[in-house]
Amino acid sequence: MSEPSTPFLPKSRVAAVQAAPVFLDPAATVDKACSLIAEAAGRGARLVAFPEVFVAGYPYWNWLMTPIEGAEWHQRLYRSAVLAEGPEVAALCAAARDHDCTVVIGVNERDPFSVGTIYNTNLVIGADGSLLGRHRKLVPTWAEKLSWAGGDGSSIRVYETPVGRLGTLACGENTNTLARFALLSQGELVHVANYIALPVAPASYDMAEAIRIRAIAHSFEGKIFTITACSAVSEEIIAAMSEGRPGNRELLSRPNSAFSGIIDPHGQVMGEALIDDEGIVYADIDLGECVRPKLMHDIIGGYNRFDIFNLTVDRTPRASAYFIDEVQSPGSSEEAP
């Protein structure tokens, strides 16, 4: 037999990018992302994880303005949103292929049918440049509901990649016990949890700690590696949000608002995590380390009780209408518009 391209439990270097986008400028942000892919791949990374909606920025106004005040910014967000089939995503795919690197990156995605609808979408791009998956965040968090519609269940999937079976959830979704389990149940071994820096949350909410808790919990429960990649807040963003609202400058400068790092299957941070500052965090992960902790607890195997707990995940794609355009042979399925 020929040697398989990916060993059973591979070892790889992975990278988590903590960076700010060029605010609401998708073309410039994609350029920045491609440079960061090149840099990380140059240092040996076979997986590069980017923040949530890195292309091209997070709607901070939802937290800093009333909905009416923010509506003008919404127009700008909508016009900066990209299509999954558009040129910006094509450029990211090319960079992944050129650097033989799996990439997970968040984008503001424009719905191809409903004018005005935007999704918070995580793209999983294969090392061959193909678009492996597109996960639309299921439920936006609190004030984010003012900007994004929720996705359907069709993207609750893990993907075979050279660094191992990979799944991703965006930000608050990592709080969702059932969403996390649905990925673990598919044999997820590498989880990308990407976030945005959230200095504007309530004072009781320590965002860096909130990111860390969820990451170590997911790694510990599933006995897998978790990679968190979080955005940074740039002076450009602070300036945009503080224009005419000087109090926002202090809010947006609050420390401990971003955390990027890699967690091992015991729930421990590998090396140093990056707090708030821009940069790239690297770690060498060995999936063989996922085997032994399962002797203690294997929640998708012998340590669970599927005679008692029965989870069904509806991954049916949802559309506003389904169109049947051809004479059906019995049993075939409808086409979406």
267's tokens: 């729930």
Interface positions, 48-77, toward a copy of itself (CB under 8 A): 62-68, 71, 74-75
Q: Does 314 bind a copy of itself (CB under 8 A)?
A: yes
Q: Does 278 bind a copy of itself (CB under 8 A)?
A: no
Long-range contacts of 297-302 (CB under 8 A, 24+ apart): 297/221, 297/223, 298/223, 299/181, 299/184, 299/221, 299/222, 300/181, 300/184, 300/185, 300/187, 300/222
Closer Cβ to a copy of itself, 244 or 331, answer by number: 331
Look up tokens 């999983």; give the residue.
124
Closer Cβ to a copy of itself, 17 or 241, answer by number: 241
Work out which of 143, 169, 193, 227 binds a copy of itself, going by CB under 8 A.
143
Minimum CB–partner distance for residue 37 and a copy of itself (Å): 21
Closer Cβ to a copy of itself, 239 or 324, answer by number: 324
Of the candidates 185, 175, 166, 103, the one whose C-alpha atom is nearest the C-alpha of residue 139 is: 175
DSSP element (H, E) containing 62: helix 61-64
Work out which of 217, 242, 278, 282 binds a copy of itself, going by CB under 8 A.
217
Q: Which residue(s) pair with 166 in the sheet?
A: 159, 190
Scanning 29-37, 231-239, 275-283, 315-323 for contacts with a copy of itself by CB under 8 A, the matching segment is: 315-323
Work out which of 221, 242, 253, 278 binds a copy of itself, going by CB under 8 A.
221
d(Cα 306, Cα 323) in Å, to the nearest integer? 38
Interface positions, 11-50, toward a copy of itself (CB under 8 A): none
Closer Cβ to a copy of itself, 253 or 267, answer by number: 267
Distances (CA, A) of 165 to 33, 47, 158, 253: 23, 12, 6, 37
Q: Which residues are catalytic?
A: 52
Q: Does 5 bind a copy of itself (CB under 8 A)?
A: no
Closer Cβ to a copy of itself, 156 or 281, answer by number: 156
d(Cα 9, Cα 21) in Å, to the nearest integer? 34
Minimum CB–partner distance for residue 41 and a copy of itself (Å): 26
Strand, coil or helix: 38:
helix
Q: Does 78 bind a copy of itself (CB under 8 A)?
A: yes
Q: Does 137 bind a copy of itself (CB under 8 A)?
A: no
Q: Does 185 bind a copy of itself (CB under 8 A)?
A: yes
Work out which of 31, 176, 256, 278 binds a copy of itself, going by CB under 8 A.
176
d(Cα 60, Cα 241) in Å, to the nearest integer? 7
DSSP state of 276: S
- CA dihedral for 29, 32, 37, 38, sign (positive or negative): positive
* 176 close to 138: Cβ distance less than 8 angstroms: yes
Q: What single letter denotes the amino acid at residue 150?
A: G
Q: Does 250 bind a copy of itself (CB under 8 A)?
A: no
Look up tokens 């049916």; give the residue.
316
Minimum CB–partner distance for residue 139 and a copy of itself (Å): 5
Of the candidates 272, 240, 315, the one whose C-alpha atom is nearest the C-alpha of residue 20 is: 240
Q: How many CA atoms lie within 13 A of 229 on its CB side?
A: 33
Q: Does 145 bind a copy of itself (CB under 8 A)?
A: yes
Q: What single letter denotes the amino acid at residue 200?
A: V
Minimum CB–partner distance for residue 330 and a copy of itself (Å): 5
Q: Which residue(s) pair with 170 in the sheet?
A: 194
CB-CB neighbours of 74 under 10 Å: 17
Q: Does 2 bind a copy of itself (CB under 8 A)?
A: no
Q: Does 254 bind a copy of itself (CB under 8 A)?
A: no
Q: Does 239 bind a copy of itself (CB under 8 A)?
A: no
Interface pattern 86-125 for a copy of itself (x via CB under 8 A)? -x-----------------------xxxxxxx--------
